[in-house]
Amino acid sequence: MIWPLFRRDRDEPQSDSKRGLLAEYPHDSCHQCESYQRLRLLAVVFQILSAALSILCIGLAVAFASSRNRVLAGYWNPTDLKTVQNEIPAVPKQIRFSAGLRYNESHELVRTGSSGRKEYVGDPSPELESAWEEIMGAVNIFITAEEERGLGEDLYMDPATNLYMAEPTVFHDLHCLNMIRKNLYYYWDYYPHNNRSILKPHLDHCIDSIRQSIMCTGDMTMAPIIWDFNKGRFIPDFEVHHTCRDYDALKEWTLLRDSEHEERWRDSAARLHAMGH
């Protein structure tokens, strides 16, 4: 049998020749081999960590870009001028509207929510006119040749500047709203009405333009219905927050391109030409 032979072979003392051969090449616990293996292991771990970190960074970059694109997609519309989209940060603002209505103790309907804010309605006054002038941007602005190509044909070129012109809708609509305001019956005697032949078509145009803008924007912020104890009936609460574009940024952008006002149009044109337009 195999077992006794195996046992005997294994239990036999090693011969001197075998001892001499092994002693001739000592292992020294193979310290160099172990060090090399440890270095290789560290290198592998480093590569794995580097790959994981790279994947994480790429993922974060993609997530950030997707998030930014979602913000831009929700902030701007495809028909908004591309230059505006590139030059004005897409930062929505939460604005609490102030056009509230309530009933007082005498059961009369009164305005609320405008305390501490500038008034844009009320009896005619120099302060009221100043408030409207301050919120107005430039209704007519310069447009470059590059921008003109995306706006259709037959744009008017100003011969003094070799720049085209256009009207931003938001400021045209504000102009129209102000026009309607000035022609309300309780303002009629305050403002001059020199050319009445164009007044009706102008007002009709303004009303219809604002109607379309409101329908286009389609603000679905809710005005909750609340109970008015003075009147003993329900009434909408209009003093709620809306998500808005940065109107001040839009206004400042148009003022830098103002093509209408004598004190600004030359500087506006020079600024655009200095930018290579």
Task: Calculate mean pLDDT across residues 122-129.
Answer: 90
Q: Please indicate, yes or no, if residue 26 is contained in any of the structural domains.
A: no
Task: Calculate mean pLDDT across residues 249-264.
Answer: 95
Q: What is the pLDDT of residue 9?
A: 47
Last residue in a domain, options 51, 75, 99: 75
Q: Please indicate, yes or no, if residue 109 is contained in any of the structural domains.
A: yes
Encoding tokens for residue 92? 């929505």
Domain limits at 39?
33-75
Q: Please indicate, yes or no, if residue 165 is contained in any of the structural domains.
A: yes
Q: Using CA of residue 34, residue 40, residue 44, residue 46, what is the dihedral sign? A: positive
Higher pLDDT, 12 or 173: 173
CA–CA–CA angle 32, 33, 36 (5° rounding): 85
Would the pLDDT of 87 be above 60? yes
Determine which of 56-65, 90-99, 211-220 has the lowest per-residue pLDDT on average.
Answer: 56-65
Higher pLDDT, 49 or 28: 49
Q: Could you tell me the pTM of the whole model? A: 0.71
Determine which of 62-66, 87-91, 97-101 has the lowest per-residue pLDDT on average.
Answer: 62-66
What is the rounded distance in angstroms from the CA atom of residue 176 to the CA atom of residue 268? 24
Q: What is the pLDDT of residue 10?
A: 45
Q: Please indicate, yes or no, if residue 8 is contained in any of the structural domains.
A: no
Last residue in a domain, options 75, 91, 125: 75
Residues 102 and 37 in one domain: no
Would the pLDDT of 18 be above 60? no
Determine which of 18-32, 105-119, 134-148, 178-192 has the lowest per-residue pLDDT on average.
Answer: 18-32
Last residue in a domain, options 16, 44, 75: 75
Residues 176 and 111 in one domain: yes
Q: How many domains does the chain have?
A: 2
- Amino acid letter for position 205: H
Q: What is the pLDDT of residue 57?
A: 75
Q: How confident is the model at residue 195 (pLDDT cuts 50, 70, 90)?
A: confident
Residues 132 and 70 in one domain: no
What is the rounded distance in angstroms from the CA atom of residue 260 to the CA atom of residue 277? 19
What is the rounded distance in angstroms from the CA atom of residue 171 to the CA atom of residue 139? 5
Q: What is the pLDDT of residues 36-70, one digit of tens each?
A: 677 777 777 778 878 888 787 777 766 555 545 54
Residues 67 and 110 in one domain: no
Residues 67 and 149 in one domain: no
Q: Please indicate, yes or no, if residue 15 is contained in any of the structural domains.
A: no
Q: Please indicate, yes or no, if residue 51 is contained in any of the structural domains.
A: yes
Q: Please indicate, yes or no, if residue 200 is contained in any of the structural domains.
A: yes
Residues 190 and 61 in one domain: no
Cβ atoms of residues 100 and 238 within 8 Å: yes
Residues 130 and 232 in one domain: yes
Q: What is the pLDDT of residue 32?
A: 66
Q: What is the pLDDT of residue 264?
A: 94
Residues 234 and 190 in one domain: yes
Residues 129 and 247 in one domain: yes
Determine which of 5-19, 109-123, 158-172 has the lowest per-residue pLDDT on average.
Answer: 5-19
Q: Please indicate, yes or no, if residue 18 is contained in any of the structural domains.
A: no
Higher pLDDT, 26 or 233: 233
Residues 51 and 88 in one domain: no
Residues 141 and 265 in one domain: yes
Q: Using CA of residue 108, residue 114, residue 115, residue 118, what is the dihedral sign? A: negative
Above pLDDT 90, what percent of the chain? Answer: 52
Task: Calculate mean pLDDT across residues 139-154.
Answer: 89
Residues 120 and 144 in one domain: yes
